[in-house]
Amino acid sequence: MSLTGFRLQQREPSSFFVDGTRPNELGGHISTELRINERIRVPEVRLVGPNGETVGIVSTDQALKLAQEADLDLVEIAPMGKPPVCKLMDYGKFKYENAQKARESRRNQTNVIIKEMKLRPKIDKHDYETKKGHVVRFLNAGDKVKITIMFRGREQHRPELGFRLLQKLAEDVEELGFVESSPKQDGRNMTMVLGPNKKKAAAMAEVKAAKDQAAAEKADEVAAEQAELAQRRAAQPTPKKAKRANEALDPDIDL
């Protein structure tokens, strides 16, 4: 049998699924918004009151009526339930409080940052102390520090210089951090990573407490200065008001 000129006829997709729903009713973008009020299409719901009390299974029309009488919204909080669970609430207030919680959660989220400090094998004492001070500050803030020793020229043939320098730095800051990644050669450089003994969240809390304490002390100083100024003003004698020329004359004297 020759297939020349034979065209396969593609079947068009059915307009309905087995359960009777159309494809566009189930496909497309899935919204994360909760269905509220008239957007709830099921015939009945399991209703929860505004204070969390269980009302029971009622028709959706009756639940909408109760919501209108209480000046609240009917919100579908568990759409997969049989029947779906709905609650009477102020939906605008609910969304605002959730946004506030999400913002607060992002604010309290701690991200550990890896700082980097570069040194030379033959660094002098003053520069070493300066670099070490930066490392101490980073560890106190709860951040990791990557220490990089940069070799140049003939220094590349003496890696023990960089190794001893990294060991010395790790020993100098051992109260604040620990060696998370041991020294290793990376081309012309030797690297080591120090991790903080203090968690990032704890470090942020200490910084905030220190700022709050400084602000409170400043406020106390300002209040003390204002109180002292008020006492000085109160202790000063009130200057007498000078009499006018016509007030100093005897009123019985005819001019």
Cβ count near 48 (within 10 Å): 19
The reported pTM is 0.43
* Res 1: pLDDT: 41
- Looking at the chain, list the stretches that DSSP marks H as alpha helix, in order from N- to C-terminal side: 23-26, 60-69, 91-108, 125-140, 159-172, 200-235
pLDDT bracket for residue 106 (50, 70, 90)? confident
Q: Which domains does the chain have, with CATH numbers?
A: 32-92 (3.10.20.80), 114-200 (3.30.110.10)
| pLDDT at 243 exceeding the cut of 90 | no
Residue 52, phi-psi category: left (phi > 0), alpha (psi -120 to 50), beta (remainder): left
| pLDDT at 130 exceeding the cut of 90 | yes
pLDDT tens digits, one per residue of 54-93: 889 999 999 999 999 999 999 999 998 899 999 999 999 9
Q: Which residues are CB-contacts of 202 (< 8 A; sequence separation ≥ 6)?
A: 142
